[in-house]
Amino acid sequence: MNFEGINIPQKLVPNNYLQLGLEAQRVKQRHVKELLEKRKLPENGWRDEEIEELVHQLAALDSNNFAHNVGLGEREARIACRLVARRHYNFGHGIGRSGDLLEAQPKAAGSTLLAALTNALLFELLQMLGMHSCRGCFLVPMATGMTLMLCLQALRKRRPNAKYVLWSRIDQKSCFKAITAAGLQPIVIPCLLLEQEQSLITDCEKFKEKIEELGADSILCLYTTTSCFAPRNSDNIVAIAKLAKSNSLPHLVNNAYGLQVAAISGQLEKAQRVGRIDYFVQSTDKNLLVPVGGAIVASSDEQLLQHLASCYAGRASSSQTLDVFMTLLSLGCSGYQSLLVQRQQRYQCLKQRLQQFAKEHNETVPQMADNHISLALTLGTLTSCPGGRNIVELGAMLHTRGISGVRVVPVAQLKSIDGYEFKHFGAHHDLLEVPYLTVAASLGITCPDIDKFFEVLEKCWTQFNKTTDKQ
Amino acid sequence: MNFEGINIPQKLVPNNYLQLGLEAQRVKQRHVKELLEKRKLPENGWRDEEIEELVHQLAALDSNNFAHNVGLGEREARIACRLVARRHYNFGHGIGRSGDLLEAQPKAAGSTLLAALTNALLFELLQMLGMHSCRGCFLVPMATGMTLMLCLQALRKRRPNAKYVLWSRIDQKSCFKAITAAGLQPIVIPCLLLEQEQSLITDCEKFKEKIEELGADSILCLYTTTSCFAPRNSDNIVAIAKLAKSNSLPHLVNNAYGLQVAAISGQLEKAQRVGRIDYFVQSTDKNLLVPVGGAIVASSDEQLLQHLASCYAGRASSSQTLDVFMTLLSLGCSGYQSLLVQRQQRYQCLKQRLQQFAKEHNETVPQMADNHISLALTLGTLTSCPGGRNIVELGAMLHTRGISGVRVVPVAQLKSIDGYEFKHFGAHHDLLEVPYLTVAASLGITCPDIDKFFEVLEKCWTQFNKTTDKQ
Amino acid sequence: MNFEGINIPQKLVPNNYLQLGLEAQRVKQRHVKELLEKRKLPENGWRDEEIEELVHQLAALDSNNFAHNVGLGEREARIACRLVARRHYNFGHGIGRSGDLLEAQPKAAGSTLLAALTNALLFELLQMLGMHSCRGCFLVPMATGMTLMLCLQALRKRRPNAKYVLWSRIDQKSCFKAITAAGLQPIVIPCLLLEQEQSLITDCEKFKEKIEELGADSILCLYTTTSCFAPRNSDNIVAIAKLAKSNSLPHLVNNAYGLQVAAISGQLEKAQRVGRIDYFVQSTDKNLLVPVGGAIVASSDEQLLQHLASCYAGRASSSQTLDVFMTLLSLGCSGYQSLLVQRQQRYQCLKQRLQQFAKEHNETVPQMADNHISLALTLGTLTSCPGGRNIVELGAMLHTRGISGVRVVPVAQLKSIDGYEFKHFGAHHDLLEVPYLTVAASLGITCPDIDKFFEVLEKCWTQFNKTTDKQ
Amino acid sequence: MNFEGINIPQKLVPNNYLQLGLEAQRVKQRHVKELLEKRKLPENGWRDEEIEELVHQLAALDSNNFAHNVGLGEREARIACRLVARRHYNFGHGIGRSGDLLEAQPKAAGSTLLAALTNALLFELLQMLGMHSCRGCFLVPMATGMTLMLCLQALRKRRPNAKYVLWSRIDQKSCFKAITAAGLQPIVIPCLLLEQEQSLITDCEKFKEKIEELGADSILCLYTTTSCFAPRNSDNIVAIAKLAKSNSLPHLVNNAYGLQVAAISGQLEKAQRVGRIDYFVQSTDKNLLVPVGGAIVASSDEQLLQHLASCYAGRASSSQTLDVFMTLLSLGCSGYQSLLVQRQQRYQCLKQRLQQFAKEHNETVPQMADNHISLALTLGTLTSCPGGRNIVELGAMLHTRGISGVRVVPVAQLKSIDGYEFKHFGAHHDLLEVPYLTVAASLGITCPDIDKFFEVLEKCWTQFNKTTDKQ
């Protein structure tokens, strides 16, 4: 709906006043035209009203929102609770079609357009981040773990006889479970410990050995991870990509929260140029600050993406798409760029203050060349006294005081996942001697957050020591 | 914003799917066109999404919502709290201009259009209700009492030397205070008691006498009331209108909740044809089911309305206008008509059951030929026993049990308002002998409401009697 | 937040007025207490305000909504776009934990509570529908197809060496793709055609034969479908359940939109009692009228459900949970029951009128003892004339006129899905001779919908015949 | 509703996770308790969710929102359109009672509490601004003009025989119309022109003379204005307050947008201490950035306020109250303070740049000791050429380019308002020789606004000169 072509009587409003208003609408209309025709992420974010107007317009293209629609099917996107209808802007049909996430829906031109446009904008975003070798991407309405599983399933359809997945160990449950859920067999490649830096890197040699040992034909893919908790570094994806290419092996990259780190994007671009990455997967919640539930799969090969989409059984929620669409319009290029810059600055700040804290308390901050999000602090002095308090209580103390997201990694935690045992689970490797904690500077962290953290940490540290002394 | 003139790529959505959606939008666009060009109340109510879309479009015509507006004035409709902005759909400029409620605002074409359109739709509504002699109306963003005061002030500007207002007594404070607030002198004309019916009617003779006694020149206007609590009838506005005409005296009618009663609308039409009514005023909350705060002033003389609008000092809230606009679009002609029909039916039901109740308890329901909303039930048997409980406690008992709006009128309540004394205040006349209660069947009342009322009344009645017996 | 324990000064509001208000709040509080303590679906639906209040209260328990939360993790549920935050009521953490959909989240007590409560209410709903043998259920935030795939994956973890899935043919792509997506091998069991009724039933004998032929150990599970398009009947799940039990084989039931049909619920209950069903899966959108994107998995074995939940890799969207939660509270038991009753009545009406139409046009409505949603109408007379118009155009004609959901099934459509060929795809069997259309009476269909459908069908029928005659 | 006293089963959520959430709720609850018990404006603004929660809780105390309310009255706050209900958070009863804006409503404890609390918070705000002599204030749901009229009416009730209002001329229509609307007679006291500064000040002598001339008994009140367009200064309210006191005359101050200027607040405080002010009135939209429609009346005498409230005929809209309430909670003390500081800085910036511009273009910026919002710039050089373009077109040029709020005051504009003639209307005095424009730095103005203004002004100036030269 708009006022073009409507002859609004002078009696209602003087024409000269009206014209100024209509001119302002035309500017808005040009923005919409540009968005739809060129599919470009707007330079500056849109205002809430503009975003909602477009979203409503899109929803109005779906048949359940036609005034005189008569539904004789088994699924007519009727919505019983009006609060639910309202929060979904009356979108009800979801995205995709029985066997393909990227297929258009005859009943739902608006949902189709929403999904296609969102994918186009995400592609723009990746380009903006420097990933020029990337040829396409799309949003999968499942979180990273399940989306990685979907990628593994898609790869299996192309390599039905391969069953091994070579996986550089990272102690995060869901990316490991993606392998077992798909009914595949993980081959765990432990990380290498850099003695001096006290940090962990990819054991590329071991990958090579395993490929030779098992034979490339029996291997479904190589599976690496970029963003991760300290003191593990981002995997050496360039080296693994080369290895994948030379062995004609698929390569899957878990880039969970890597879009927010320029260095990782650079590595991904390089790896695609000189080696092989079939799919790289990133979480929408961590990289775009939307609620949990979506992931972006990108590839330098459009056909691989089409294949992946066709492996998704049935239609899917459009809720995640809507969140991402609104967020991208709301931020615009400049908004997202400034989020990135701020995060980078605050990461530096967090790092410096952590090193300072470590110095003052005779602890260490492991050095990592390839981790620009997460930091670790050893907790050696706190546990030196035998029979002392359990170090994990430090985490609980912080949590109770409003600090969330700090992980305390104790020594000697053994975990079994789907029959596979992991020693020192949480530490990414078998040789941990000193417990530590990790903190991360992720998108949206603020300076007062950092101040408050050190204030609370200082207090808890002192209190922990006191209590331990008494015992 | 809409999709006409935008070349949406096939890649985003197949054209044949899209066309069905666009066609549905064109239907909607035709509705908007019709509304704005013909200013007709739609036959059927619009859906929420359509209403909000139009409201947003209108707000977007105001300068505070232009993307690049630069405000150098003292009032730029900036809104500090986004929740406030949201609930007003970003309307901030109000309606009217420094000295005229109907004037257009250069900065706010949308607010101007909203107000003008709402007034046009209200006019349609009055026409639909049969008031063909009415020539115009507009919404005043003040409730009935203050709007009546505004009318009195406007009349005074035309008759600066007249100071008396001849007022047919009705025991509702605000319509009386409208006179004193304006600095005028009320002349109270008591109602006549019809002995047999036990109801009250206008004492037209007394009006005539007073006009002769005071002299028409000293009288500002005659002031009558239609809708009122039982056992008072609607004033005989036809007779008073004739009297006004023959004496060249203005006539102001308080039609507070009269639009919902066909008989009153009929009387208003007749009175305008055969006599004189300068302004008749009705509440928006009671007649249109919006929150308290607005009134509609109508007249058979457009110039009188212009004059009234120009007596309003300054600009005003557009919140009431927005409520009425949205409600009218939401109901449509058919929606409002069915509200009227239902009310009428439920009034009949309430009346029958009240008469039945009266019969069973040896009480009376006064008969009124000209009151089709409110009903009374005498409470004689409850108070017959001397030294019994105070009858107003019956009201409190009902209220505590979730029955609101029932008024218990005790004998001998004396009230002084601005120096004027009213005996048996609440009863509309000086000769009340038996206390009574009133109930009303107003717009939106339901059958379960009526059932529940009698159920609770029965219980309270019994309990009241018991307690009284004991004392 | 509430007003208990707050000493509101008389100066602000008289205490007796306030007490009435507070009493009303206590009633509301009792409803919440009952819901949380007894986890009972309320008899009557809640009002919008009550639902939103509870949802906000729940969200306030998540750490991202604490006023002084400091987030140092990699995922802190920050939401960049406030429109997105608003539509999710500030829920951001999703549900589940890295490796288990049913696990509680330390950072998000509210999301955890929301999910657990929703699952408890869904369980109540199943009980109300008569499924007393059911021991538990939970919502999976993926649509039916992917949820079926998840069930197959969970079964595989328990039977790693079985690879065949015996599947009673139903021509709906996503439930077939669930098998291939999981990397399993479908064994298609064609339906039996009942000559006289012209409808399709399960070929139980063939199931038996195949089990013997392949050996139970190599078979992952039997896989049946209840709700389906005419003229296929619901599978004979009781017989197949017995077969599953006697062969110690898992049995998976696709009950996509079956909750709305009492007969199907009855069959499910019986099948669980006398035979074996491991999981039965139903869509949330079709059965609960929420947007597409969720499914409910139920089982008579709680451990099987725990196992399934632990097969989901990673955390998941809570958006679907929120939709279902709000819808269940909004409807209440009585609201859902009346939706069921209305659907049943309108199905009867649709059936009668379709039979009448068939009679008038020399067509047939196949008879189905076990399909109470979908109906078919043969289109033999329309295609009798050789060289006539393509029958699928009839579907397009209907669609263009606002009728959605009618499927026209032509003869001789061949479809290949993941390498498997289906003759007459859409018809569920290989022997189709006459094209037909299907219509369904699903939850929320109205009588005017049915009237309008026949009006349009009549017109299109005539027009189709005319055009064909001319050619 | 809250979770205290509810025994949430461990099965739904682990108790330790839940406790953290509940603790956060208790903090919130303490804020509410403090607000209601101490009626203090919070130091820091509340979050949107907290504000809405409290607003919903308040609305739930009104009888129309009780689940089992049965309405038998003529006004039951039923709301027909749910969009309207939603935007008013289900408040429907308005504020006040038939004859008093400050009276509590038996049916609406929540609305009553909302209004009383808002008035208490506004009082806190005035205290914070240094007005310690102020004893009370309340919000009137009418804009400044009508509220001034209400004050005049209230004063008349106390001085029924006085009819003159001595008014220091200010060319703003609505404050003048407030006098005539009330049926009173304005005595215009022209401003004094300071030759050197080219600005205008109050002619206190003339006030004195007029009092003597007319006699204090015939004078209703003295009526001054603080905030105004340049080159008029704020009236010398201290001197006039003394005059009022010594003559026992009421004094009404129009402080329309004066709360945002510290100097004016200081003057008001001083005037109250050393002289007499009966009422001072300020707009809510201009001082608190809410939509147009409300005013705050304050006084150093609580009884005068009670009297004023009782002069309001009938009940009134609560919409303005809600806006102010939400805005105050949203800003908090610190939020409002920082708005004030920013405005002050930007006023200085605007002034400097305007002086610079004047210098470059041979124009003047009049000097005003008592106007810290509005600035003027002479337009002498633009009109020096005889037969040139009409200077008001400059205003139109600016407006068309998105600059709103700039007023161009031409020479020789004669205006008649209600029979009173004003020479050079807009200039506040009779002796204007050179046209000028005014700009204001009001709350919420930004630095980019100022930059953009000068950029556009420069362009228009050049263009205006060019066109004039050609003619």
User: Has residue B250 got a pLDDT over 60?
Assistant: yes
C87 touching chain B per CB within 8 A: no
pLDDT of residue B388: 67
Other beta carbons within 10 angstroms of residue B369's beta carbon come to: 12
C83 touching chain D per CB within 8 A: no
Reduced 3-state DSSP string for B325-394:
HHHHHHHHHHHHHHHHHHHHHHHHHHHHHHHHHHHHCCCCCCCCCCCCCEEEEECHHHHCCCCCCCCHHH
DSSP 3-state of A60: coil
> Which residues 6+ apart lie within 8 Å of A106 measured at CB?
B17, C399
How close are the terminal C-alpha atoms of chain A, in Å?
73
pLDDT in tens, D159-193: 999 999 999 999 999 999 999 999 999 999 999 99
B419: left (phi over 0), alpha (psi -120 to 50) or beta: left
Domains: count for chain D: 3
Higher pLDDT, B299 or D418: B299
Task: Calculate helix-pair angle for C237-246, C204-214, nearest 10 degrees.
Answer: 20
Whole-Å CA distances, B326 to B464, C17, D271, D290, D468: 45, 32, 46, 21, 48
B66 falls within a domain: yes
List helix spans (H) across A289-318. 302-310
Task: Find the mean pLDDT for residues B294-318.
Answer: 96
pLDDT above 90 covers a percentage of chain B that reads 91
Rounded distance between C-alpha atoms, residue A376 and residue A159, angstroms: 40
Query: C211 and C352 share a domain?
Result: no
Inter-chain CB pairs, A–C, below 8 Å: 372
| CATH number for position A28 | 1.10.10.2160
A461 touching chain C per CB within 8 A: no
User: Has residue C471 got a pLDDT over 60?
Assistant: no
Rounded distance between C-alpha atoms, residue D261 and residue D372, angstroms: 7
pLDDT of residue D412: 77
Rounded distance between C-alpha atoms, residue C391 and residue C396, angstroms: 10
Query: D165 and D299 share a domain?
Result: yes
C97 falls within a domain: no
Residue A353 is classified by DSSP as H
Other beta carbons within 10 angstroms of residue D349's beta carbon come to: 15
Rounded distance between C-alpha atoms, residue B153 and residue B221, angstroms: 11
Q: How confident is the prediction for chain C on average, in pLDDT?
A: 95
C102 falls within a domain: no
D103 falls within a domain: no
Confidence of residue D467 (pLDDT cuts 50, 70, 90): confident
Task: Please give the residue of chain A at the shortest CA–CA distance from B16.
Answer: A106
Q: Phi/psi of residue A200, each to 5°?
A: -115, 140
Which one of A282, A315, A333 terminates a domain? Answer: A333
Q: Phi/psi of residue A12, each to 5°?
A: -80, -40
- CA C149 to chain D, closest CA, distance in angstroms equals 27
List the structure tokens of C52.
């939103």
- Compute the Cα dihedral for A105, A110, A116, A119 and give only its sign: negative
Task: Find the mean pLDDT for residues D270-294.
Answer: 98
User: Has residue D389 got a pLDDT over 90?
Assistant: no
Question: Cβ distance C261 to C229 under 8 Å?
Answer: no
Query: C227 and C116 share a domain?
Result: yes
Question: Cβ distance B118 to B111 under 8 Å?
Answer: no
Query: C326 and C365 share a domain?
Result: no
Question: Cβ distance D201 to D237 under 8 Å?
Answer: no
How are beta strands C279-283 and C251-254 bridged, if at all? parallel
C289: left (phi over 0), alpha (psi -120 to 50) or beta: left
Whole-Å CA distances, B201 to A115, B125, B204: 69, 29, 9
pLDDT in tens, B79-98: 999 999 999 999 999 999 87
| CATH number for position A287 | 3.40.640.10
CA B111 to chain centre: 23
C287 falls within a domain: yes
Give which of A2, A11, A13 to mutate to test B binding, by max B Cβ within 10 Å.
Answer: A13
Query: A136 and A282 share a domain?
Result: yes
Confidence of residue B414 (pLDDT cuts 50, 70, 90): confident
pLDDT in tens, D136-156: 999 999 999 999 999 999 999
Question: Cβ distance D361 to D381 under 8 Å?
Answer: yes
Higher pLDDT, D424 or B326: B326
C156 falls within a domain: yes
User: Is A135 a known ligand-binding residue?
Assistant: no
Question: Cβ distance C240 to C225 under 8 Å?
Answer: no
Are A83 and C181 inside 8 Å of each other by CB?
Answer: no
Are D98 and B174 inside 8 Å of each other by CB?
Answer: yes
pLDDT of residue B469: 64
pLDDT in tens, C272-286: 999 999 999 999 999
DSSP 3-state of C451: helix
User: Has residue C314 got a pLDDT over 70?
Assistant: yes
* Buried-exposed string A165-182: b where 16+ CB fall within 10 A, e elsewhere: bbbbbbbbbbbbbbbbbb
Q: Phi/psi of residue B134, each to 5°?
A: -70, 135
Name which of B20, B82, B400 is nearest C400 (Cβ-Cβ). Answer: B20
User: Is A401 a known ligand-binding residue?
Assistant: yes
Query: D298 and D329 share a domain?
Result: yes
B9 falls within a domain: no
- CA D124 to chain C, closest CA, distance in angstroms equals 15
- Compute the Cα dihedral for B205, B208, B212, B215 and give only its sign: positive
Q: The tokens 């107000």 sit on which residue?
A: B115
β partners of residue A438: A376, A407
Rounded distance between C-alpha atoms, residue A389 and residue A383, angstroms: 8
DSSP 3-state of D166: strand
Question: Cβ distance D375 to B41 under 8 Å?
Answer: no
List the structure tokens of A278.
């079939």
pLDDT above 90 covers a percentage of chain C that reads 91
C81 touching chain B per CB within 8 A: no
pLDDT in tens, B150-200: 999 999 999 999 999 999 999 999 999 999 999 999 999 999 999 999 999
Note down pLDDT in tens along chain A; length 471 residues.
889 889 999 999 999 999 999 999 999 999 999 999 999 999 999 999 999 999 999 999 999 999 889 999 999 999 999 999 999 999 999 999 877 999 999 999 999 999 999 999 999 999 999 999 999 999 999 999 999 999 999 999 999 999 999 999 999 999 999 999 999 999 999 999 999 999 999 999 999 999 999 999 999 999 999 999 999 999 999 999 999 999 999 999 999 999 999 999 999 999 999 999 999 999 999 999 999 999 999 999 999 999 999 999 999 999 999 999 999 999 999 999 999 999 999 999 999 999 999 999 999 999 999 999 999 999 999 987 666 678 999 999 999 999 999 999 998 788 999 899 999 898 888 888 899 999 999 999 999 999 999 999 999 999 998 876 655
Task: Find the mean pLDDT for residues B307-313.
Answer: 95
- CA B70 to chain A, closest CA, distance in angstroms equals 13
User: Has residue C430 got a pLDDT over 90?
Assistant: no
pLDDT of residue B99: 79
Confidence of residue D470 (pLDDT cuts 50, 70, 90): low
| CATH number for position D439 | 3.90.1150.10
Q: The tokens 């002998």 sit on which residue?
A: B433
Query: C260 and C127 share a domain?
Result: yes
How many residues does this entry show for chain A?
Answer: 471
Other beta carbons within 10 angstroms of residue A162's beta carbon come to: 21
Query: B253 and B317 share a domain?
Result: yes
Are A449 and C72 inside 8 Å of each other by CB?
Answer: yes
List the structure tokens of A184.
């595949």
Which one of C36, C65, C92 terminates a domain? Answer: C92
A186 touching chain C per CB within 8 A: no
pLDDT of residue D243: 98
Query: C192 and C127 share a domain?
Result: yes
Query: C323 and C405 share a domain?
Result: no
How are beta strands B436-440 and B420-422 bridged, if at all? unpaired
Task: Calculate helix-pair angle for A302-310, A144-158, nearest 10 degrees.
Answer: 100
Rounded distance between C-alpha atoms, residue D460 and residue B80, angstroms: 31
Rounded distance between C-alpha atoms, residue D77 and residue B444, angstroms: 10
Query: B227 and B193 share a domain?
Result: yes
Higher pLDDT, D356 or B98: D356
pLDDT of residue D388: 67
Which one of A333, A358, A386 terminates a domain? Answer: A333
Q: Give all strands of the β-sheet with D219-225 in edge-to-edge order.
A: D136-140, D295-299, D279-283, D251-254, D219-225, D164-168, D185-189
Query: B212 and B287 share a domain?
Result: yes
Widest Cα–Cα separation across chain B: 89
Nearest-CA neighbor of D72 among B457, B427, B389? B457
pLDDT of residue D387: 63
Provide the whole-model pTM. Answer: 0.96
CA B406 to chain centre: 19
Domain that includes residue D113, residue range = 109-333
Rounded distance between C-alpha atoms, residue D93 and residue B290, angstroms: 9
**What dihedral angle (degrees, nearest 10) is formed by the CA atoms of A139, A141, A145, A150?**
-80
A388 falls within a domain: yes
- CA B401 to chain C, closest CA, distance in angstroms equals 9
Rounded distance between C-alpha atoms, residue D8 and residue C39, angstroms: 10
Task: Please give the residue of chain A at the shortest CA–CA distance from D16.
Answer: A400
Q: How confident is the prediction for chain B on average, in pLDDT?
A: 95
C17 touching chain D per CB within 8 A: yes
List the structure tokens of A403.
């600090």
Ranges of beta strands (E only) in B171-307 are 185-189, 192-194, 199-201, 219-225, 251-254, 279-283, 295-299
Question: What ipTM does this complex have?
Answer: 0.95
